Amino acid sequence: MAKREKNRPIEIGDAVVQPGQRVNVTLPVADLYTSTSLGMPVHVVCGKRPGPVMFVSAAVHGDELNGVEIVRRLLKLKLLKSVRGTLLAVPIVNVHGFLDQSRYLPDRRDLNRSFPGSAKGSIAARLAHRFSTEIVAKADYGIDLHTGAINRANLPQVRANIDNRATLDFAKAFGAPVVIDADIRDGSLRGYAAELGMPVLIYEAGEALRFDEMGIRAGLRGILDVMRHIGMLPPPKKPRSVSSVLARNTRWVRAPASGIVTNKAHLGDRIGEGKRLATISDPLGDEELHVTAPFDGIVIGRTNLPLAHEGDALFHLASFTNVPKAEDAVETFAQEYTAPPPLAVGNKG
């Protein structure tokens, strides 16, 4: 009888993780001026049998917390005992920003504009370099978890280069209601991965400094479905009901005047061209102005603040070839994830 092929060990930092092992690794990031050291936590799940290497990362922006909870719940699942290949789970990439509850690093740089970084550069460049060389360079796939900014919420969505067939299939497997054809930004993690020819998804849901239960549950399920899609986990017993729709164009609708914002559209709402998204009025109630949709689309992002200055971003709209189909996808998704989970996390994948 032929022997089963074994997975290969993987070296992360100073640790060599053997097939069948789960190991916590701390990657040194920086020595602080308090004479203490800062490290990036990594959990390595090296399966017994061969398969792809995939990283899941969160808190590249230190105030985006949903992904941290998604990774925590992922690592509690018994299903990971069946992993083929290797999972690199990094719940907190920007450890500086996470401690300060800030999007940025102490040098006020955006880590997601600093890749692939440099071993001798700024704090941002060094952190990006550490993550690039120790995690990204050793993976075949990646999922990077994000939220909206402070006081801005995002409908669960995946952002990817959908002109690349492998990346598109990867994105659809995640099962978010909306997949956005997003431009690659210079210095971004996704841009660096693209240079390496690696499919990487950005998952966005909720807002900074808050947990969003729907976004967390959908993100966890999406990661598991991607792992099944690429052969890291056994196929599902039951197919999903959510089918993603593609959006090639999105646009922020901005405040035409300063004032108090009321009667706001909700995430996932379909708004017809020319229809009202919100009302802006002055504090005395003498003036009222309607904010209207420039095209027929779905609200995928919005501000949660009731106050706006002229020019502030209020609503993020996505346009679709078939808007009714997109509306149905969002409604089906909402129905699936507003119901309570049948079992506690950790019992079942």
Residues 182 and 89 in one domain: yes
pLDDT tens by residue, 45-61: 999 999 999 999 999 99
Residues 223 and 300 in one domain: no
Residues 165 and 262 in one domain: no
Q: Give the full edge-to-edge strand order of the sheet including 307-308.
A: 288-292, 276-281, 259-262, 307-308
- Residue 4 lies inside a defined structural domain of this protein: no
pLDDT tens by residue, 238-278: 777 678 999 989 999 999 999 999 999 999 999 999 999 99
CATH code of residue 314:
2.40.50.100
Residues 130 and 231 in one domain: yes
pLDDT tens by residue, 93-136: 999 999 999 999 998 999 999 999 999 999 999 999 999 999 99
> What is the β-pairing status of strands 84-90 and 49-58?
parallel
pLDDT tens by residue, 326-336: 999 999 999 88
Final residue of a structural domain among 188, 217, 245: 245
Average pLDDT over residues 231-235: 95
Final residue of a structural domain among 210, 228, 245: 245
> What is the β-pairing status of strands 307-308 and 15-17?
unpaired
pLDDT tens by residue, 277-287: 999 999 998 88
CA neighbor of 337 nearest in space, from 264, 268, 237: 268
Final residue of a structural domain among 211, 229, 245: 245
Residues 232 and 256 in one domain: no
Please say if the pLDDT value at position 344 is more than 60. Answer: no
Structural domain for 264, as ranges: 248-338
- Residue 82 lies inside a defined structural domain of this protein: yes
Residue 226: predicted pLDDT: 97
Instruction: Quote the distance between the C-alpha of residue 10 and its chain's center.
Output: 25
User: Which residues lie closer than 8 Å to 145 by C-beta, 6 or more apart?
Assistant: 56, 57, 58, 64, 66, 67, 70, 71, 203, 219
Residue 296: predicted pLDDT: 97
pLDDT band at 17 (very low <50, low <70, confident <90, very high): very high
Residue 241: predicted pLDDT: 65
pTM of the entire structure? Answer: 0.94
How buried is 256 (Cβ within 10 angstroms: 0-12 exposed, 13-18 middle, 19+ buried)? middle
Please say if the pLDDT value at position 339 is more than 80. Answer: no
Domains of the chain: total = 2
